[in-house]
Structure 1
């Protein structure tokens, strides 16, 4: 029989060996067991889809997955059982939890705000490390918040848990020395920035509309937040920032191809959208463009749209082709914009996530390469 203590030490040792877990966090990870925040039935993201695991049926497998480096889904479809099967609450991969807490760079006496309590493991770790009185965590979903509150009862240090909108921060506890989001955003909430002390830090997963995602570590000063990305990430999006795309007919009244202009490209559309980093760079540079796919197998069509509902484009991918058919319509040439970004990124030597950064000021988001003065738009120009 596998022991909880044994698998907990096994996981912590591996997190520390990988560099994700720093020594100052080791005891908190040993004291605050991940299994305490998991329901009896969960779905583990194992790389081959989601593995359903029932503790009553497979207690050994349940414990093994609880202390594996995988994300575990605890709620689907906002709890509505709509049949869409979209994950809407989870316990993140231990590597991601540890690395984001490392990026947070907390010190004794720091006050912490967390947006997105989820099942509560991250908040429990923070409370164990810094003291429960120094941690405020906010969760929008009342059912998820209630489950987190029940989970917290197993802890000696229980953080202040609030049911509310993380986009609003939590003003009664402000100002905070550090802030952390456990859901991805494409727009950093201004209220959150305003509640972090000057020279405080805000760590969050940033996911542009187009695709990709990375963790940003932003330093706050006078209402502005700026800093680098620290590595790749994939998180559920903040509920209020999920994009509801208009119907295709709003872009293309009548039959395809409409009034589109016809051309070809040698850049495969799948080399853009199937590359997490390339998608991320496109999303940073062209934040108001998104895509959809149709078809599959030997033939895939990539559809591009702008949020202003003015322009669209399609690019056809066929196995074995060396050039790909493009159609573009509207005042913007969306595929041309995307291709320009990708060609620029390739010319720079395909820089990784850590060479990019983000500045947020007055609600405006500006992405940059290597230095805040080197904006992506000007770099491409």
Structure 2
């Protein structure tokens, strides 16, 4: 998607003489653009798939560029070429790999798609500090394949029901918050940051109704919310130690009470002391984690 490529390169803000590490070579097009701008000797690109790397290397060569194309785990970066002035990822992460920070010069910039397990994702632009931390704002929506080292298997709903038919041991309730209200990409991001280790799935029906399933990655809790067009109240079932619809509802209302912020009001800080946290408007205002 050219608009996404160029918006991320704009956020990277490279200058003459910069050395750049790219995570995710893909077709090689992004590496070619960087090579044209900075000279191929200043570009290192890492690709986990050997076939993709070989084909990208051939395309780059045919176009007259010869950046260093490395076959390896992008989560590890490439220490052999460090330190870098800029790091850019063309795959998404849910936790920023620390080697990317360690291999970036103080004052350097990391641009990467970041998103919680729940869904919703945006490109973050981080500036690396001398103490090994990195912090910055999200600059726009994105939807990339996950870094292979961070991909997870999603357990089927039957495992949550323990072999029983729905609603199994689910406790019935109702809600006036429509499942439709929590489905947009930026809302999912705000919810996902507050409700870690949970993810949704929609089971659609021919009449326009659907069931929103919520599940936790620990396979201990689930919830369903049944949407029917024209209804003002919706049936809910929840099971397990986490009341997932209650958590999602609380996260939604937190977001709503703060003016329904878009991606541009959120930021991310990664440091050794406090780990990784998302904030709203300024680093001193971390987004809370909801627990039921």
> What is the Cα deviation at residue 247 of structure 1?
3.2
Contact map agreement 1:117 1:137 (CA 8 A) in 2: yes
Partner of residue 288, structure 2: 377
2:278 is the counterpart of 1:367: yes
CA contact (8 A) 2:250 2:290 kept: no
- CA deviation string 1:77-102 (max 9, x = no partner): xxxxxxxxxxxxxxxx1111111111
Over residues 137-161 of structure 1, what are the superposed CA-to-partner deviations in whole Å (9 max), with x where a residue is unaligned?
0001111111101111123332111
Q: For residues 163 and 207 of structure 1, what CA distance do their matches in structure 2 show?
A: 25
**1:80-129 residue CA offsets vs partner (Å, 9 max, x unmatched):** xxxxxxxxxxxxx1111111111111111111000000001111111111
Aligned counterparts of 1:379 and 1:225: Cα–Cα separation in 2: 25
Deviation at 1:378, TM superposition (A): 7.2
Aligned pair partner of 2:182 in 261, 269, 272:
272
| Stretches (4+) displaced over 4 A | none
Q: 1:328 is matched with which residue?
A: 238
Aligned mate of 2:147, from 221, 231, 238? 238
User: Hey, what does 2:105 align to over in structure 1?
Assistant: 197
- Aligned partners of 1:379, 1:244: CA distance in 2, in Å? 24
Tell me which of 161, 167, 189 is aligned to 1:252: 161
| TM-score, normalised by the number of residues in structure 1 | 0.72
In structure 2, the partner of 1:83 is: none
Q: Is the 8 A contact 1:300 1:316 kept in 2?
A: yes
**Equivalent-residue separation in structure 2 for 1:182 and 1:144 (angstroms):** 14
Q: For residue 302 of structure 1, give the secondary structure of its aligned residue in structure 2.
A: strand
Question: Secondary structure at the residue paired with 2:178?
Answer: coil
| Structure-1 residue corresponding to 2:11 | 103
In 1, distance between residues paired with 2:205 and 2:151? Answer: 25
Structure 2 residue aligned with 1:302: 212
Q: Does 1:158 align with 2:66?
A: yes
* Cα distance in structure 2, aligned partners of 1:296 and 1:126: 47
Which residue in the other structure is 1:182 paired with? 90
Deviations 1:211-249 (A, max 9, x none): 111100011122322110001111122222222022324
Q: Name structure 1 gaps, 5 residues minimum.
A: 1-92
- Tell me the matched-pair count: 288
Once residues 205 and 109 of structure 1 are traced to their aligned partners in structure 2, the CA distance between those partners, rounded to angstroms, is 25
Deviation digits for residues 24-64 of structure 1 (CA, Å, limit 9, x no counterpart): xxxxxxxxxxxxxxxxxxxxxxxxxxxxxxxxxxxxxxxxx
The match for 1:126 is 34
